[in-house]
Amino acid sequence: MARCSVCGAPAIAYVPYQRRYYCPEHYAEFVEGKVERTIEKYKMIREGDRVVAAVSGGKDSATLLSTLSRLRGKLGFELYAFHIDLGIGDYSVESRKAAVELARRLRVPLVVFSLWEELGYGVPEAAVRLRRPACSVCGIFKRYLYNAVGVELGAKVATGHNADDLAAYSLKNFLFQELEAIGKLGPVQEGVPGLAATRIRPLYTVYEKESFLYTVARGLPFLHRECPHARLDSLDFKLKEMLNRLEEERPSLKLGLLSRLAKRAKDYPRPKESYARCESCGLLSSSGKCSFCRLTERLSGEPLGGWVRKRIRELFSGVTGQPSSCTWGGTSG
């Protein structure tokens, strides 16, 4: 049996690019150390920052929230968790349960925004009524809500994208020559005060497999199943598989790509349109109304961005102790 390279206890994992074995405790410390170094290297979080972690209930968001919760005292930042109940049948019921249990165990204040309870429809109903793919509708809901939370709280939004996700997205965007999209895949996406929250990706150097083993090593609750709308025949999934095969031959290939991308992200073209406000809700929009306001206008008869921003303030006032009428505004980065 392989033994931990640090303490000699039975190992649960081998890290090929280090040629080291780890027991559960030292493996968890290895991943936590990686996240801390990534946060420091890319100056993701400063003392006094407010950070909201997007928690889906899956393994990556469990790794994200656990590692951030262990660092909040040392680095001196406030940490909150935000979960969107997408209304996707049992999958969303179980995801919400996992997110609630995770936040409870890690003692991180959590706010849940349920699409059904707040808007009267979930992703599947909205997709059918709009005749659009579920993932495209879901993406608009998620992007808007995360951004609105960041702007309303004056917080940075931390997402659980791992190294495998980001390497596959960057390759896909290269294949389609979506160069502006590649420029947004770095470890930090700077916000625009009052319009768009700063986004950070603390798992930038953590592989998907490492995220999974971390949740096992720390015994964290997370949902083991995929969303029923996830497609295993998608190009993203195939690119991930292809990169995994290459990585077996060349350990740390993906980390090398992401390290170079982090250095070059600013050299990629930026969107040509100037930053504009949605005429309805006041958040970032490339045209008159933002996608969320246009989408909710078709579903509810009126654009709901402004109402959602107010609702988010109300929901968070219960956990931050700030009055719900107060808009902190801007971004803290």
Binding positions for ligand SF4, rule: CB under 6 A? 123, 134-135, 138-139, 227, 229-230
Looking at beta carbons only, is 280 or 331 nearer to Zn ion?
Answer: 280
281's contact among ligand SF4, Zn ion, none, with CB below 5 to 8 A by partner kind, is Zn ion
List of residues contacting Zn ion (CB under 5 A):
4, 6-7, 9, 23, 26, 278, 280-281, 290, 293, 305
Looking at beta carbons only, is 1 or 232 nearer to ligand SF4?
Answer: 232
Looking at beta carbons only, is 77 or 146 nearer to ligand SF4?
Answer: 146
β-bridge mates for residue 85, sequence order: 114
Least distance to ligand SF4 from the beta carbon of 229, Å? 4
123's contact among ligand SF4, Zn ion, none, with CB below 5 to 8 A by partner kind, is ligand SF4
Residues 79 and 68: beta-carbon distance below 8 Å: yes
Q: Which residues contact 31 (CB under 8 A, 6 or more apart)?
A: 63, 67, 206, 210, 211, 213, 214, 217
| CA nearest to 163, candidates 199, 207, 213, 210 | 207
Looking at beta carbons only, is 215 or 280 nearer to Zn ion?
Answer: 280
**Dist. CA 112–CA 326, nearest whole Å:** 20
Least distance to Zn ion from the beta carbon of 201, Å? 25
Least distance to Zn ion from the beta carbon of 254, Å? 26
Residues 236 and 172: beta-carbon distance below 8 Å: yes
4's contact among Zn ion, ligand SF4, none, with CB below 5 to 8 A by partner kind, is Zn ion
**Dist. CA 176–CA 301, nearest whole Å:** 35
CA 279, 280, 286, 288 torsion-angle sign = negative
β-bridge mates for residue 156, sequence order: 51
Looking at beta carbons only, is 219 or 321 nearer to Zn ion?
Answer: 219
Residue type at position 325 = S
134's contact among Zn ion, ligand SF4, none, with CB below 5 to 8 A by partner kind, is ligand SF4
102's contact among ligand SF4, Zn ion, none, with CB below 5 to 8 A by partner kind, is none
138's contact among Zn ion, ligand SF4, none, with CB below 5 to 8 A by partner kind, is ligand SF4
Q: What size, in residues, is the chain?
A: 333
Helix pair angle (163-175, 208-218), 10° resolution: 160
Looking at beta carbons only, is 4 or 153 nearer to Zn ion?
Answer: 4
CA 102, 332, 191, 71 torsion-angle sign = negative
Least distance to ligand SF4 from the beta carbon of 54, Å? 12
